[in-house]
Amino acid sequence: MARLALLSTSDKTGIVDLARALVDRFDFQIISSGGTARTLAAAGIAVTKVSDYTGSPEILGGRVKTLHPRIHGGILARRDLVADQRDLEANDIRPIDLVVVNLYPFEQTIAGEGVTLAEAIEQIDIGGPTLLRAAAKNHAHLTVLCRPDQYGSYLKALEKGAVDPDFRLACAREAFWHTASYDQAIATYLSQSSPDPSATLPARWPLSGTQQQPLRYGENPHQQAAWYRTGSVPAGWAAAEQLQGKELSYNNLVDLEAARRIIAEFPSDRPTAAVLKHTNPCGVAAADTLADAYQRAFNADSVSAFGGIVALNRAIDAATATALTGTFLECIVAPGCDPEAREILAKKSNLRVLVLPDAKVGPAQTVQAIAGGFLLQDANTYPDASDRWQIVTEIQPSPEDLAEMLFAWRVVKHVKSNAIVITQDQQTLGVGAGQMNRVGSAKIALTQAGEKSQGATLASDGFFPFDDSVRTAAAAGIRLIVQPGGSRRDQDSIAAANELGVVMAFTGVRHFLH
């Protein structure tokens, strides 16, 4: 008797070729449902509809098709168990040797604009996951395939005769991961669809991902690493286009994500560039042209920029490409790249150039692993705006001053705490990052800025616990300060700023970055 295969796929890629090979070369009989059956029939392939095989029609508008003992009995029966074989014979059930299923496009559906909850729910597959889990559970006796890229390997395995048990186990593992990721996407969506705006993070947060690619090593050569993407629809860096250069490393990807976050702060109405090293910005600047913006960002700390990561908020043009090739860089990311710029950058064959069309699209939550679990928090995407600030000093800032302070505030948000940033004319002059006290960070930033700190702006990611930071800044020539406020000694800092003729704004929001 011919072997039996059940084919029921949402993604029809390769399904006709697989079915034809099964029928013509390996003497399979095919049963199928819905659109898959129609696709195979249209291709001239003999196929039995599930409803004809089970004797039960599809009901509830297609919600119930394959949930039937003749289907699941044939999948779950243990071929080496006499009692199971008796049950099959008693109920006129044939064993099924191959199950090929992929699921309704839930993630693709919810990725569309304006999708309603009701529309999303209709894309929750019921029969598909049940088939996959049943077949994967009984992988000792049959094969389950859930991705089109598995079809070729399965046909090659059939050519050798019996399908290798290790192959069936690997396919079962993939099926369980497939259903786990699918359920996670649904649970996450339903958690985020709460009508209660004050709803907290969900009580459960399963993590799963599909390996995008193995990495040579992690932060250091003795650490293994791989890159995983979440969801079945490539997004973020997984959807970015790498135009040229070596394979991305673990550290490249960590730095690129930091670069994405900072460049996303700056709208494209003015060209802006950021140069990063070890996730910290060493230079950020805006200008009338992208080439000038990059050059100003590079000049802010040309020593640290060597071997750095560059993020741009506009497509790379020829002039900017020429400037970018003037030093050694690891990676460049921009929303686009002009053809002439590509030719110029191609001369640096090892330079990694990526196109990420929309840097503002990032994770809604961030995860940090700890022993025995992980920490989950909302991503720091707070919409900073100077009109929400409190000007606490006697001297008031001009609109130009506020624009400069906002520029500095957007940068300091992305510097490791304790963080101090000095800027002027929308260019960073000094960055103090990751020190154990804020005065230390201020001294580093002010020393780096040097004489350029005269009339400049200082931004601090956290409040000043004492007035010493204000006095240190004023002594170096700082004219504008922006900080969160909220210290019990705020009044001391305000008094010092008034005494020294410094303008100071409290944002009411801090931006710690650990």
In the annotation, is 141 catalytic?
Answer: no
Identity at 178, one-letter amino acid code: H
Identity at 181, one-letter amino acid code: S
- Helices and strands of the chain, counted as H and E runs: 19, 21
User: Whose CA is closest to 442, among 424, 425, 462?
Assistant: 462
* 373-378/420-423 β-pairing: unpaired
- Residue 187: strand, helix, or coil: helix
For residues 80 and 210, what is the distance between their CA atoms, to the nearest angstrom?
34
Catalytic residue among 137, 277, 414, 511: 137
Which residues does 199 contact at the CB level (< 8 Å), separation at least 6?
none
- Written as six digits, the tokens of 164 are 């290798």
Query: DSSP string spanning 436-492?
Result: SSHHHHHHHHHHHHGGGGTT-EEEESS--SSTHHHHHHHHTT--EEEE----TTHHH
- Written as six digits, the tokens of 391 are 């000007």
For residues 340 and 469, what is the distance between their CA atoms, to the nearest angstrom?
48
Encode burial over 32-52: b for 16+ CB neighbours within 10 A, e otherwise. bbbebbebbeeeebebebbbe
Q: What angle do CA 306, 308, 312 make, to 5 degrees?
A: 120
**Beta partners for residue 144, in sequence order:** 99
The dihedrals phi and psi of 16, each to the nearest 5 degrees, come to: -65, -45
User: Whose CA is closest to 39, among 51, 29, 47?
Assistant: 47
Query: DSSP string spanning 41-105?
Result: HHTT---EEHHHHHS---BGGGTBSS-SHHHHHHHH--TT-HHHHHHHHHTT-----EEEEE---
User: Whose CA is closest to 259, among 315, 310, 313?
Assistant: 310
In the annotation, is 278 catalytic?
Answer: yes
User: Whose CA is closest to 106, among 129, 126, 125?
Assistant: 125
Identity at 264, one-letter amino acid code: A
* Helices marked H in 313-385: 318-324, 339-345
- Written as six digits, the tokens of 103 are 């699921």
Catalytic residue among 278, 414, 416, 452: 278
Q: Report, as residue numbers or ranges, the catalytic residues.
A: 137, 278
